[in-house]
Amino acid sequence: PGRTDHPTLRAVPLADATSARILGPDQPGGPDNATIGVLNKEIARWQLNGDLDGWRASPGLPAEMAAALEDYVAEARVLPDWAIAAKIARAEVLFMEMSMASCTLLFCASLPQCYVMPDLAAVLHAAGELEQHTDYRVRATAAMIFPVMMHGGLTTPAGGGVAQAIKVRLIHAMIRYLVLRGHVADALVAPRRLPRLLAHGGTMPQVLYAHGWDVDRLGLPCNQEELAYTLLTFNYVFLQGLRRLGLGLRKADEQAYMHTWNVLGYVLGIEPGLMTDTMTDAARTFDAMQASARAQVRTSDPRPALAGALVATMQRYIPPRVLKPFPVLLTRHLVGKATSCDLGLDGRVSLLSRALFVLGFALVRGIDAIGRLVFPGFSISRLVTRILGYQLTAKLLMDETRPLKLPATLRQEVSDAVHAWHNDARAPRWVNALERRLTGRGAPAARQG
């Protein structure tokens, strides 16, 4: 970046100042692991939104850390004055109605598009976090999405969206501090080419600290542009995916969904001027960001490895061999040719699998068009995406042996919500019966949602 006011050279001042107060000053070998351990334990207390009211640090915490965290919570927890409760409530209803299909779009659209930005991918690639721990990373993403989008997630004391968001906001700042080996302001005063050091068997903080970062070429890690782009993958890309599946929402509903994610973006520290309110503006901004990323020359590209790890994770939960390429084919359809090429997902797929996908997709769209003349809620496309979403939700996100890292109350609410998703309230009974048979659930769900 050639200008110091470019979004790639702006981060999140409140969180960065807090991180610097806790982790600084810069010491050889990086911040003390004990300090990071204490900090992680302390922010784990931010579970529900109500926990943030008048929050105080634990007794015995170092005075500077306690003061920094208390100041941070008091300011970071506040919603913007432009937040509209009715729109947020509508978005919560929409999320519940989309149910299992939303998980398919998370895996096959939102997450793949996240990795298109090379510098955004580089932070994850630095410690092999996504290639080696894809399940963990996906589950961590879900652990933020569910608390935000469930009833009252951003607006009530019993919700957990704000608590989880300010935690992520501070973690991003910690990552920046570790990768840059010091305060963000220091990196901007004298941009430097930091050497890449090897770290073998170290902790995540040690690995990130040893990695180094080229501020001149890459900007700041998790900078404003990357944060704004990521936000678009969870509202604009998600809504665009629904359109491409023939499941698009009404304009007012799309705007309510985007508004809710913009409120979350504010809590995450994203500058309002980098957010978009309509699908048209979002498409223009998103395309411009991707074009800028593609114009940058890279000596190495971590994106194919990251996307490959994500696809491999999905394929583990698709039993029939002939259907294993379907996650790749569906992702190609949802993200487009250019992004598929960026992610290395444009490789050879068997003719049989491609034929089944293309013919099946065309048939589904045709049947939907006719079926809706008789049943307004009829959609085979919705059925198919729900079935795939069920496989990924039940076997990856809701594995009881590896519960989502959420407060017990929220974890139970997520479990109840997913249980309610077992029947599609918008579909005829025979479609729900077919879905139960195809997913192997057998008996009808006890409740509807």
Q: What is the pLDDT of residues 132-177, one digit of tens each?
A: 566 767 777 888 888 999 999 999 999 999 999 999 999 889 888 8
- % of residues, the chain, pLDDT over 90: 36
Across 332-342, average pLDDT: 91
Across 9-33, average pLDDT: 79
How many CB atoms lie under 10 A from the CB of residue 24?
14
The pLDDT, as a whole number, for residue 400 is 63
- Determine the length of the chain: 449
How many CB atoms lie under 10 A from the CB of residue 357?
19
Helix (H, G, I), strand (E, B) or coil at 19: helix
What digits encode the pLDDT tens for the residues 269-323?
A: 999 999 999 999 999 999 999 998 888 766 777 788 888 888 888 888 776 666 6
C-beta of residue 388 within 8 angstroms of C-beta of residue 123: no
What digits encode the pLDDT tens for the residues 178-235?
A: 877 766 766 665 444 444 433 444 555 555 555 566 777 777 888 899 899 999 999 9
Angle 262-406-229 (CA atoms, 0-180°, nearest 5)?
30
Give the pTM: 0.83
Whole-angstrom distance, CA of residue 197 vs CA of residue 216: 18
Helix (H, G, I), strand (E, B) or coil at 207: helix
